[in-house]
Structure 1
Amino acid sequence: MLPSLARFCHRRRWTVLTVWLLILAGCAAVATVARPTFSESGPVPGSPTATAAQVLQRAGLSAYGGEQALLVVAAEAGVGDPRVRRTVQDLLAQVDRQVPDVAVAGPYDDDGGHRIAPDGTVAYAEISFAERSTDDLERDAAVIRAAAREAATVADPVLGLQVEVGGGEHLAEEGDFSTEAVGLLAAVVILLVAFGSVLAMLLPIGTALFGVGTGVSLVLALALWVTMPAFVIPATTMVAIGIGIDYALFIVTRYREGLRAGLDPTAATVAAMGTAGRAVFVAGLTVVTSLAGLLLFDLAVVRSLAIGLATGVLAVLAATATLLPALLGIVGRHVDRLRLPYTRTADDGPAQEVDLARAGDPVRGGRWSRYAGAVQRRPVLAVAGSLAVLALLSAPVLDLRLGFADAGNRSTEDTTRRAFDLIAQGFGPGANGPLLLVADSPGNAAGVLTGLADRLADDPHVAVVSPVLPAAGGDVALLTVQPATGPQDERTADLVHRLRDTVIPGGTTATVYVTGPTAAVVDFADYTRARLPVMVGAVLLLSFLLLTVLLRAPLVALKAVLVNLLSIGAAYGLIVAVFQWGWGLGLIGREGTGPVEAWVPMTMFVLIFGLSMDYEVFLLSRVREEYRRTGDNSLAVRHGLAATARVITAAAAIMIVVFGGFAFGDDPSLQVMGLGLAAGILIDATLVRLVLVPATMQLLGERNWWQPGWLARVLPARHR
């Protein structure tokens, strides 16, 4: 199918290019006109936080269950100074007028004394938002930040007034660092080095940009019907750029080999799509299959992420299958024009290594052939050494904790970070992650919480217990509990579990829920931790079946699944060492250690597993070709590695710089995922692909290609 499609697109090259231009323009226009809004998915379905939100909504207190901002004020003259008091009250009144559907609780209210620090230099007001989209929340946050800046600017300098806005990631100030642009620029440089030709470089870049532009536009359009968080767009862009360039790189490399072997442009295009193109599409389907594993999570945020990423990957695959053959038809034999000075001629490169290997002794077939021979001569040492290194890199994963970054991890240039520090300085670390107890007891909710408040006041892990806030009617009441530790501290999560499992059941028979942003993080982490093994098992099984069908070799497919699992474990270990232990954390501009973002491990797993399969499929498909040609396993492994090592190295380098660029961005979640993906690809393309895979295939020998009789009868004969 792919060769026939390639031949058609090659011959109708200008028509195909025109159609793609129209598709891209149309998708962009729809996405621009539609102007979708993004929204977080809310608490985990069925969790105590979700049930508490329903109770609050029923009692008319829904603002207390949503996102919360803090207006934090510090004054050298003291927050009790009448001038400071008047400035803060005017500011809160302005916020109440300009921002719809908020509940504002200030430090100077009758019951607001607990919002003033004991030393009198810091105070805060709570601004609780009713449920709203991410776009609306960010717009309202901008209004609050502007009002806070104005209040601090016009105040008397003698007061030493500082006003900051604290809260979640949507209240943070956006940076102007473009991680996508940096990654794309680095990919251009790598392609120029790999190809030595400007025109050859433009083919993967152009194909990827068409696919990414179409994919992202489709995701924006899908956001009209599917609730999506805002980070889906940069995540889709990150993955689609890396995959799009890599896939086109594999095919363009095979096309150039065909030209050097004497094929005409049409035949070279068809041959490239029938070999590298087939491997690329199996790899792409493996990525999509892996992403489907995220659908096992009953979380809208995770499912929408899977839909967005899969849409981006499928758009890139479509561009690779149709647009790239058309572009190859346009450039024809001129693919190596506009060569850079001091680069090798078109007759050099990976193809020469393969041709020499086929012509005679593979050890003389180039440096990659000689390298493969060295690994094959000592396969036991290579396997043992690589497994030891992978085990060492994976060891930190035993300390993996799930949670979410908070303002304490942001730069001190961000107002939310400064607010976070002021709150911790004035009220203690737990004030940045208070817990909200919601009592649901007809006619006696306030009494229930009053009794609990007396018990919690003596708890050493509780710093402050605020006054009980009853709702109209008396059936629902609220109690704010400030832990003695910060929101990312493991002891705070332990406190949430202890309140739910021991303290509340032992103190009252009424229904009391522990909720709030910190408790919601605990619920999310517990849910993902419980579901992660199920998703991993499903993805492993589906990938094994897909590779078995492609390679007709169950042992090779099983080995591929297991070694990819090792590279993922090593990537997990690295993010624990960096983000939890703080090793090298300052190098990426992040401050403060903490748990790993709760949604990142599952997303990292499916992406690293799927992307690692790209290189596995590309390498093993070539090894399989060589084995069918020669019937010699050792020779096939050596020739396959020699033919693919350079292009896989270039492809991995592109992935690493594209993903690694996000580690230097402003989004804490994408920092973790970007660094984790870059590390996973680096480990897979070096230690796994260049050492472990050829060594294990050497040890297995002819058993690599064992095929049970029933499988041979089931699979189509043309692929045997």
Structure 2
Amino acid sequence: MATLLYRLGRFSFRNRGRVVAVWVLLLALMGAGAALFLGPSSDKFSMPGTESQRALDALARDFPQASGATGTIVIAAPEGAKLDPAAVAPVVKEAASVPGVVAAVDPFQARSVSPDGRYALITVQFSGTAEDLSDESRDAYLKVGDGVTGMRIEHGGDVLRAAPEVGGSEAIGVLIAAVVLIITLGSLVAAGMTLLNALVGVGVGMGGLYALSGVVELTSVTPVLALMLGLAVGIDYSLFITSRYRQFLTEGLDREEAAGRATGTAGSAVVFAGATVVIALAGLFVAGIPFLTVMGLAAAGTVAVAVLVAITLLPAILAFAGEKVLPRRQRTGEAVAKEGFGYTWGRFVTKLGIPILLVGIAGLGALALPAQDLRLALPDTGSAAPGSPARDAYDLTSEGFGEGFNSRLIAVVTTKDAATTTALAGQAAQMIMQVPGVLAATPPQPNADGTTALVAIIPKNGPTSAETEQAVHDIRAKLATISGAEIAVTGATALGIDVSDKLGEAMPTYLLLVVGLSVLLLMLVFRSILVPIKAALGFLLTVGSTFGITVAIFQEGHLADLLGVEQPGPLVSFLPILLIGILFGLAMDYEVFLVSRMREDFVHGDTPRQATINGMGHNARVVTAAALIMTSVFGGFVFMDDPIIKSMGFALAIGVLIDAFVVRMTLVPAVMSMLGRAAWWLPRWLDKILPDLDVEGEKLRHHLAKPVEREVTPV
């Protein structure tokens, strides 16, 4: 592997113009494809095999007029007054005239008026889904009642779902990353080149993703996740190869040879670090949830592009940068080589290995304690940004009717004939009313031929409350005792519960697949049994403490104001499995970067302890910079209003900090010093079976020892 990448690095350096031209052309093609084939994002969740999805499929088949998107217009009279039916009627009529609306129900006829007569709910039924709704229809819906005075009118419902905007607050993370690069590399050219390299990769990856959005359904979160990861790993991978290139230059190698060796050594670590991230993300398919599979594959694609850019475009850009990639003092020969903090820290950690290990494990274990209370749910409009139409409608509905009216469920009853449907749907409604946690169940509403009926259910509590979740399970258990009908409960709340349950079932399989494949990959890289196992155990400490801190802030509300968390509550259902996948891949990045250097020096004759110190000495500075960059990129997304993106950005940022500085740069060298030579033990029979990937570059050294390979092509 190292020899192949060495040749690739020299080829790219020598043919810099062509390589840059190819990437620029590819960037232009992906940009053009994104412009031509860009499709709308979707927040429609397809959950094959769940009761919620069965109900939605039955609605689409047997009750199509009730399967479209719905809107809810909340009307409130001034305090102390009651709503006048004559004043509400024009609002109902105006809502019914919105393009795409098939019906708007008068609240006085539907009895959706609060007991005090001050609040009313107008249910608006659209013919198509929220994704099918045009901007003109959505704008017209939001303007319903604008000319009415004397009443407060708010608009809610799933028709108002909007994709999070990209391009504002997350730029803060990129600016911080640029500052860290300048400080670390000591050269504006090197910093700018590294950042430019990463941005090209992100541009190509995002362009390709948006070009596919016309044929592949993407959720609104998918591009943000791809951008988040593409930026973070793109900068990090370029930084690692650039740092090794500069090291080779200071050792007296010519620029082309330095580029080849940097790509062969650091590039090997980049390839395998990227492979672990790709495996972790692609492994999300085991959850069996289509939108999560697409999300993982999209992010994996941007990471794969970042790796390709780092090992091909970067050597070409290095060729154009010339000696300016070095700090001015090194170019003029004024710099004096000295040991950095990494060596000091490495000696300290290896000397006090056992105490540091005990303190580190105890501290991370304490941080993980809040994770015991982890609760999951899909976000509801109660967690939307304050001041947004959806949030205002949610709050006004809760004020007038209680939070349960934001948790509405639908029981879909299907039989073979109208008489049976009427009887069994009525029986279902009576049984639902007996369930604790249910406030009301409406009389059955049949379709045209009477074979399917809907029973609307109003829980007592909010969409993400534990009481509502229990009520959904109890309702389903009771309805399962009715024979002669197909009955399924659905709605946004029920769908969120099904998502959480299905992800919980998939988690053990996912962990086994991802951790197993990655441990096998690390075994190939490091020719060791204990190093991969240690890496996996360290990851468990990282993810446990990350979950604990995230739960404490986003769910329990501690320090929530500092992060702008307006409404603490359950974490989004797919955050744990996404966080595990992404953090495992990124954790293995630092594991590969640090330990591959330790392995390299050990193979070349150093003692285990000295090899550990050397690995820290050579890579601590660049790993520190890489972790700060990745944290700043992820942290930039914390400033977004979208609660999903905010929690995801925070969890990834804090996870990277913990893993890089506590686990990889502290606990890992402590364990390596304690293991000694045993760290690199591999049974002979297994050593013969496993292919030698030569990440440490031993074969590359023999390759370079051949006289014919020492020829240098003029720059």
Fold match (TM-score > 0.5): yes
The worse-fitting range, judged by mean Cα deviation, of 507-516 and 535-544 is 507-516
Which residue does the alignment assign to 1:610?
585
**Matching residue's letter, 1:282:** F
- In structure 2, relative to structure 1, the CA distance for the partners of 1:695 and 1:168 (3 Å cut) is farther
Looking at structure 2, the residues matched to 348 and 587 of structure 1 have their Cα atoms a distance apart, in angstroms, of 45
Query: What is the number of equivalent residue pairs in this alignment?
Result: 689
Which residue does the alignment assign to 1:639?
614
Cα-to-partner distance string for 1:431-474 (whole Å, 9 max, x where unaligned): 00111111112322232222333344354411122232111122
**Matching residue's letter, 1:308:** A
Q: Residue 463 of structure 2 aligns to a residue in which SS? A: coil
After TM superposition, give the deviation of residue 128 of structure 1 in Å.
Answer: 3.4
After TM superposition, give the deviation of residue 718 of structure 1 in Å.
Answer: 7.7
Which residue does the alignment assign to 1:20?
23
**Matching residue's letter, 1:708:** P
After TM superposition, give the deviation of residue 229 of structure 1 in Å.
Answer: 1.3
Residue 375 of structure 2 contacts residue 570 of structure 2 at CA under 8 Å; is this kept in 1? yes
Q: Residue 224 of structure 2 aligns to a residue in which SS? A: helix
Which residue does the alignment assign to 1:468?
444
Which residue does the alignment assign to 1:402?
376
1:563-582 alignment, distance < 5 Å: 563-582=538-557
Looking at structure 2, the residues matched to 578 and 169 of structure 1 have their Cα atoms a distance apart, in angstroms, of 30
- In structure 2, relative to structure 1, the CA distance for the partners of 1:94 and 1:654 (3 Å cut) is same
1:553-592 alignment, distance < 5 Å: 553-592=528-567
- In structure 2, relative to structure 1, the CA distance for the partners of 1:10 and 1:530 (3 Å cut) is same
After TM superposition, give the deviation of residue 269 of structure 1 in Å.
Answer: 0.7
Looking at structure 2, the residues matched to 167 and 546 of structure 1 have their Cα atoms a distance apart, in angstroms, of 47
1:120-139 alignment, distance < 5 Å: 120-132=117-129, 134=131, 136=133
Residue 69 of structure 2 contacts residue 130 of structure 2 at CA under 8 Å; is this kept in 1? no
Looking at structure 2, the residues matched to 134 and 648 of structure 1 have their Cα atoms a distance apart, in angstroms, of 43
Give RMSD over aligned pairs: 2.3
1:34-49 alignment, distance < 5 Å: 34-49=37-52
**Matching residue's letter, 1:391:** G
After TM superposition, give the deviation of residue 227 of structure 1 in Å.
Answer: 2.2
Which residue does the alignment assign to 1:163?
153
Which residue does the alignment assign to 1:359?
none
**Matching residue's letter, 1:527:** K
Looking at structure 2, the residues matched to 138 and 677 of structure 1 have their Cα atoms a distance apart, in angstroms, of 34
**Matching residue's letter, 2:116:** D
Looking at structure 1, the residues matched to 94 and 442 of structure 2 have their Cα atoms a distance apart, in angstroms, of 24
Cα-to-partner distance string for 1:475-506 (whole Å, 9 max, x where unaligned): 111111111111010110111111111x2234
Which residue does the alignment assign to 1:62?
64
Which residue does the alignment assign to 1:80?
83
- In structure 2, relative to structure 1, the CA distance for the partners of 1:623 and 1:143 (3 Å cut) is farther
- In structure 2, relative to structure 1, the CA distance for the partners of 1:175 and 1:313 (3 Å cut) is closer
After TM superposition, give the deviation of residue 666 of structure 1 in Å.
Answer: 2.0
1:84-233 alignment, distance < 5 Å: 84-95=87-98, 98-99=99-100, 102-108=102-108, 110=109, 112-113=110-111, 115-132=112-129, 134=131, 136=133, 140-145=137-142, 147-148=143-144, 151-152=145-146, 154-156=147-149, 159=150, 161-168=151-158, 170-171=160-161, 178-233=168-223
The worse-fitting range, judged by mean Cα deviation, of 300-309 and 115-124 is 115-124
Residue 30 of structure 1 contacts residue 221 of structure 1 at CA under 8 Å; is this kept in 2? yes
**Matching residue's letter, 1:706:** W
Looking at structure 2, the residues matched to 332 and 435 of structure 1 have their Cα atoms a distance apart, in angstroms, of 65
Looking at structure 2, the residues matched to 472 and 316 of structure 1 have their Cα atoms a distance apart, in angstroms, of 55
**Matching residue's letter, 1:123:** A
**Matching residue's letter, 1:297:** A
Looking at structure 2, the residues matched to 541 and 348 of structure 1 have their Cα atoms a distance apart, in angstroms, of 49
After TM superposition, give the deviation of residue 424 of structure 1 in Å.
Answer: 0.6
Q: Residue 368 of structure 2 aligns to a residue in which SS? A: helix
Normalising by structure 2, what TM-score? Answer: 0.92
**Matching residue's letter, 1:656:** T
Are residue 8 (structure 1) and residue 1 (structure 2) matched? no
Normalising by structure 1, what TM-score? Answer: 0.91
**Matching residue's letter, 1:369:** Y
Which residue does the alignment assign to 1:275?
265
Looking at structure 2, the residues matched to 173 and 335 of structure 1 have their Cα atoms a distance apart, in angstroms, of 40
Are residue 240 (structure 1) and residue 243 (structure 2) matched? no
- In structure 2, relative to structure 1, the CA distance for the partners of 1:429 and 1:366 (3 Å cut) is same
Which residue does the alignment assign to 2:644?
669
Residue 71 of structure 2 contacts residue 157 of structure 2 at CA under 8 Å; is this kept in 1? yes
Q: Residue 464 of structure 1 aligns to a residue in which SS? A: strand
Q: 1:477 aligns with which of 453, 461, 468?
A: 453
**Matching residue's letter, 1:647:** V
After TM superposition, give the deviation of residue 611 of structure 1 in Å.
Answer: 0.8
Structure 2: gaps spanning 5 or more residues: 699-715
Cα-to-partner distance string for 1:76-116 (whole Å, 9 max, x where unaligned): 18563256314412331332xx235x4433314x3x11x21
Q: Residue 116 of structure 2 aligns to a residue in which SS? A: coil
Which residue does the alignment assign to 1:450?
426
Q: Residue 486 of structure 1 aligns to a residue in which SS? A: coil
1:305-454 alignment, distance < 5 Å: 305-336=295-326, 352-353=337-338, 365-441=339-415, 442-443=417-418, 444-454=420-430
Looking at structure 2, the residues matched to 269 and 487 of structure 1 have their Cα atoms a distance apart, in angstroms, of 56
Looking at structure 1, the residues matched to 384 and 693 of structure 2 have their Cα atoms a distance apart, in angstroms, of 57
Residue 635 of structure 2 contacts residue 650 of structure 2 at CA under 8 Å; is this kept in 1? yes
The worse-fitting range, judged by mean Cα deviation, of 132-141 and 626-635 is 132-141
Which residue does the alignment assign to 1:546?
521
- In structure 2, relative to structure 1, the CA distance for the partners of 1:258 and 1:529 (3 Å cut) is same
**Matching residue's letter, 2:472:** V
Cα-to-partner distance string for 1:376-400 (whole Å, 9 max, x where unaligned): 1221111111111111122222211
**Matching residue's letter, 2:597:** R
Looking at structure 2, the residues matched to 5 and 119 of structure 1 have their Cα atoms a distance apart, in angstroms, of 76
Which residue does the alignment assign to 1:358?
none
**Matching residue's letter, 1:541:** G
- In structure 2, relative to structure 1, the CA distance for the partners of 1:491 and 1:508 (3 Å cut) is farther
Looking at structure 2, the residues matched to 536 and 716 of structure 1 have their Cα atoms a distance apart, in angstroms, of 25
- In structure 2, relative to structure 1, the CA distance for the partners of 1:169 and 1:536 (3 Å cut) is farther
Residue 375 of structure 1 contacts residue 691 of structure 1 at CA under 8 Å; is this kept in 2? yes
The worse-fitting range, judged by mean Cα deviation, of 81-90 and 373-382 is 81-90
Looking at structure 2, the residues matched to 425 and 241 of structure 1 have their Cα atoms a distance apart, in angstroms, of 43
Looking at structure 2, the residues matched to 169 and 329 of structure 1 have their Cα atoms a distance apart, in angstroms, of 52
